[in-house]
Amino acid sequence: MFSGIAPRYDLLNRLLSAGIDRRWRRAAVAEMLPAFGGRHLDLATGTAEMALEIVRQKGKPVSVAGADISVEMMRIGRDKCAKAQAGACVFFVRAPGESLPFRNAAFDSACVAFGIRNIVDRDLGLREMCRVVRPGGRVVVLEFSAPRGRILGDLYHFYFTRILPRIGAMVSSHRNAYQYLPESVLAFPEPAEFEQMMLAAGCNSVKIRPLTFGIVTLYVGTR
What CATH number did the domain enclosing 65 receive?
3.40.50.150
In a domain, 163, yes or no: no
Distance (Å, rounded) from C-alpha 212 to C-alpha 191? 15
> Is residue 57 situated within a structural domain?
yes
* 176, part of any domain: no
What is the pLDDT averaged over residues 85-105? Answer: 97
Q: What's the pLDDT at 169? A: 66
Percent of the chain scoring above 70 in pLDDT: 91
Q: For residue 164, tell me if it sits in a domain.
A: no
For residue range 189-210, what is the model confidence (pLDDT) as tens digits?
A: 999 999 999 999 999 999 999 9
Give the model's confidence band at 174: pLDDT under 50 very low, under 70 low, under 90 confident, else very high.
low
Contact 48, 60 (CB under 8 A): no
Assigned domain for 206 exists:
yes
Query: Is residue 143 a contact partner of residue 217, using CB atoms and an 8 Å limit?
Result: yes
| 127 pLDDT more than 70 | yes
CB atoms < 10 A from the CB of 13, how many? 18
| pLDDT at 152 (0 to 100) | 80
The pLDDT, as a whole number, for residue 41 is: 98
- 195: containing domain: 2-147+188-222
- Single-letter code of the amino acid located at 192: A
**How many domains does the chain divide into?**
1
What is the C-alpha to C-alpha distance for residues 32 and 38, in angstroms, rounded to an integer?
A: 10
Tens of pLDDT along 2-15? 777 777 777 777 77
Domain-embedded: residue 156: no
Report which of 44, 41, 34, 49 is spatially closest to residue 80, judged by C-alpha positions: 49
CB count, 10 Å around CB of 148? 12
